[in-house]
Amino acid sequence: MNFIDLFAGAGGLSEGFIRMGFNPIAHVEMDRAACNTLLTRTVYHHVKNTSDFEKYVSYIKGEGITRGELYELLPEEKRRSVINLAIGDDTNERIFRCIDELKRDKSIDLIIGGPPCQAYSLVGRARDKNRMKGDPRNYLFQQYAKYLEYYQPEYFVFENVIGLLSAKAGNGEFYLKMMIDLFRKVGYITEYKIQEAKSFGVLQNRKRIILIGKKGNEGGFYPEFEKWNPHVTVAEVLNDLQPLQAGEGTFFASKYRPYRGEYLFKSHIRNGLDFTIQHIARPHTEQDKQIYRIAVEKWEKRERLDYNELSEDLKTHKNTDSFVDRFKVVVADRPYSQTIVAHISKDGHYYIHPDIEQNRSLTPREAARLQSFPDDFYFEGDTIKPSRTAAFKQIGNAVPPLMAEKIAMSIRQILLNR
């Protein structure tokens, strides 16, 4: 069962499909850092059951093996399977040629992926003075349709934010209707539902619209996904990690604290290694740490901090009418956190660690765990040097692998039944 991942990001959606036995022919992604992450994860899947796995382990520990040496473990075909190009009219023919060389005589059974969501996001529209009208990303679904038309997969899976339900073009037409009409024109019936990540065992309140398309004109095929309630709280993904102060930690190996639960293993977050990686906290100003302390103290009384309640010497923004919850504690004793989004790459104010003694925002590893990424999943930067900012951006933009796995399980069964 072969697939192509378009607008692949760091590969969260792909990770779930690979777990279910799907074979990635190609990942197409414009961001260099995300492509490096995809390649590093491709090495992981290629060597995980071989003697070369120790080299992967050494790499993510930062022990003497370079990224170039790591990628030499891959056959040339797999190195070329990550295509670092922006999808568009100027590049599609080149991308088609690359994928055609990779797939050879294989059929493409499935296309997955979703264009960048900023153009449809409610928050994106609120932040943009033009409410994202005229943004070229609004029409990237047209490029997606070209890949459907060219490769003719049996199915496709298209993920995006729920703001897509209300986003309109300049002429007042809903983008979602435009998508469905276009996909029908190229040969696909499309059905969709809103899915909640927390229904799949992800400890995060993340709602997304999942469109599934089927070749032909027969509807009524949208699958029922297997749900999982692990009956744990957010503390489960925080408590076995080393406590850190602001600015402390490492991009490489960090030992676990004692853990006696099951969730981290059942969710594939702890994957058999005796360490985690990229557990490194941002440095914070004394002003921010003072605000974080106030936010945690208020939450201990089950009160959220309103920005306007801060004393004038602690305020740094003139905007007191919107985003007044910009400082928010991640709740440890509830079954899910707030949504992890890409804005976490800019600051950590919306993701304050609940332990007042640590007095900081989340690390990339903590955010990745809330997204259900495995602890051995290494997020690369666009250069050789590790980048906390690049890691946060990729994590916030990703589809939770655990959610993707459950979607892939159902799609796999449909394809096998056919």
Sign of torsion over alpha carbons 268, 273, 278, 279: positive
Is residue 194 exposed (0-12), middle (13-18) or buried (19+ Cβ within 10 Å)? Answer: exposed
At 125 the pLDDT is 37
Compute the average pLDDT of residues 235-264: 98
Query: Which CATH number fits the domain 2-227+400-417, given the four candidates 2.40.50.140, 3.40.50.720, 3.40.50.150, 2.102.10.10?
Result: 3.40.50.150
pLDDT tens-place string over residues 124-142: 434 444 444 556 568 999 9
Question: How far is CA 417 from each of CA 73, 224, 266, 270, 414, rounded to the nearest angstrom?
Answer: 36, 15, 27, 32, 5
pLDDT tens-place string over residues 343-379: 999 999 999 999 999 999 999 999 999 999 999 999 9
What the block records as the tokens of 297 is: 């103290």
- Domain segments of the chain as ranges: 2-227+400-417, 234-397
| Least confident span in 160-169, 196-205, 347-356 | 160-169
Q: Is 97 left (phi over 0), alpha (psi -120 to 50) or beta?
A: alpha
At 126 the pLDDT is 42
Is residue 397 exposed (0-12), middle (13-18) or buried (19+ Cβ within 10 Å)? Answer: buried
At 343 the pLDDT is 94
In this predicted structure, the answer to whether residue 118 has a pLDDT above a threshold of 70 is no
Contact 13, 399 (CB under 8 A): yes
Question: How far is CA 310 from each of CA 48, 228, 306, 357, 408, rounded to the nearest angstrom?
Answer: 50, 40, 8, 21, 46
Contact 363, 278 (CB under 8 A): yes
In this predicted structure, the answer to whether residue 30 has a pLDDT above a threshold of 50 is yes
In this predicted structure, the answer to whether residue 330 has a pLDDT above a threshold of 90 is yes
pLDDT tier at 63, thresholds 50, 70, 90? very high
Question: How far is CA 155 from each of CA 36, 108, 130, 181, 305, rounded to the nearest angstrom?
Answer: 28, 9, 35, 16, 45
pLDDT tier at 418, thresholds 50, 70, 90? confident
Q: How far apart are CA 165 and CA 413, in angstroms?
A: 28
At 131 the pLDDT is 46
At 275 the pLDDT is 98
Contact 38, 385 (CB under 8 A): no
DSSP codes joined into one string, 136-201 = GGGGHHHHHHHHHHHH--SEEEEEEEGGGGT-B-TTS-BHHHHHHHHHHHTTEEEEEEEEEGGGBT
Contact 149, 186 (CB under 8 A): yes
Average pLDDT of the chain to the nearest whole number: 94
Is residue 43 exposed (0-12), middle (13-18) or buried (19+ Cβ within 10 Å)? Answer: buried
**Between 95 and 123, whose confidence is greater?**
95
Comparing CA positions, the residue from 109, 80, 81 lying closest to residue 20 is: 109
Collapse the DSSP code of 57 into the 3-class scheme (helix H, G, I; strand E, B; otherwise coil) and give the result: helix
pLDDT tier at 246, thresholds 50, 70, 90? very high
Q: How far apart are CA 42 and CA 179, in angstroms?
A: 31
pLDDT tier at 394, thresholds 50, 70, 90? very high
CATH of domain 234-397: 3.90.120
At 128 the pLDDT is 44
* 8-state DSSP, 275: E
Give the percent of the chain with pLDDT over 70.
95
Indicate the helix (H) or strand (E) that contains 386. none
Q: Which amino acid is at 279?
A: H
CB hemisphere CA count around 13 (13 angstroms): 26
In this predicted structure, the answer to whether residue 338 has a pLDDT above a threshold of 90 is yes
pTM confidence score: 0.94
Compute the average pLDDT of residues 266-278: 97
**Residues marked as catalytic:** 117
Q: How far apart are CA 116 and CA 399, in angstroms?
A: 12
Q: Which amino acid is at 288?
A: D
What the block records as the tokens of 135 is: 């943004």
